[in-house]
């Protein structure tokens, strides 16, 4: 499950909806983009333009919690949007694990993300639900 396109759409749409005035940045000259420029978001978040561009292109693997929080503040994300950004980053981290099956589960046994090998190994869990999260509780065996 490659989430790069979802990351691109999410960050791009949040950047586009925020005007320079809303972000407290003076707007100069003609603007070819709707909303903030990548460089403006990077400056607000305290990261390089190259690093923010890499994030917005869908490469969240390895991004620290503090960087994600800084980007969330720069884009003025609400709590739900910030949680979604962190979820996308966790899913990206699983995708970078190519040699082992892996999935991310919460306390309710909902599978929140899985890499391709994890989805293949645990295919019966994903057979009934085409989208995540899917619940894995019915696959837990009680001890006799």
Whether residue 117 has pLDDT greater than 90: no
- What are the percentages of helix, strand and coil residues in the chain, rounded to 5? 50, 5, 40
Q: How high is the mean pLDDT of the chain? A: 87
Say which residue the tokens 């707007």 belong to.
Answer: 27
CA–CA dist 123, 62 (Å, integer) = 27
Query: Domain 1-96 is in which class?
Result: mainly alpha
Where in the chain does DSSP place strands (E)? 103-105, 110-114, 134-135
**Cβ-based neighbours of 18, under 8 Å, separated by 6 or more:** 35, 36, 75, 76
> Residue ranges of the domains in the chain?
1-96, 99-144
Q: Per residue, what are the HEC states of 34-61? A: CCCCHHHHHHHHCCCHHHHHHHHCCCCC
Question: pTM higher than 0.85 for the full model?
Answer: no
CA–CA dist 81, 90 (Å, integer) = 14
138 — pLDDT class (breaks 50, 70, 90): confident
At 12-25, the pLDDT tens digits run 999 999 999 999 99
């Amino acid at each position: 499950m490659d989430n790069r396109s979802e990351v691109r759409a999410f960050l791009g749409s949040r950047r586009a909806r925020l005007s320079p005035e809303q972000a407290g940045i003076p707007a100069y000259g003609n603007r070819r983009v709707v909303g903030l420029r990548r460089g403006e978001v990077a400056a607000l978040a305290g990261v390089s333009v190259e690093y923010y561009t890499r994030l917005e292109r869908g490469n969240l693997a390895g991004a620290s919690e503090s960087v994600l929080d800084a980007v969330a503040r720069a884009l003025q994300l609400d709590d739900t949007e910030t949680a979604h950004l962190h979820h996308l980053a966790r899913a990206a981290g699983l995708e970078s694990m190519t040699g082992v099956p892996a999935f991310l589960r919460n306390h309710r046994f909902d599978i929140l993300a899985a890499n391709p090998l994890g989805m293949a190994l645990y295919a019966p869990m994903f057979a009934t639900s085409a989208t995540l999260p899917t619940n894995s509780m019915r696959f837990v065996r009680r001890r006799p």
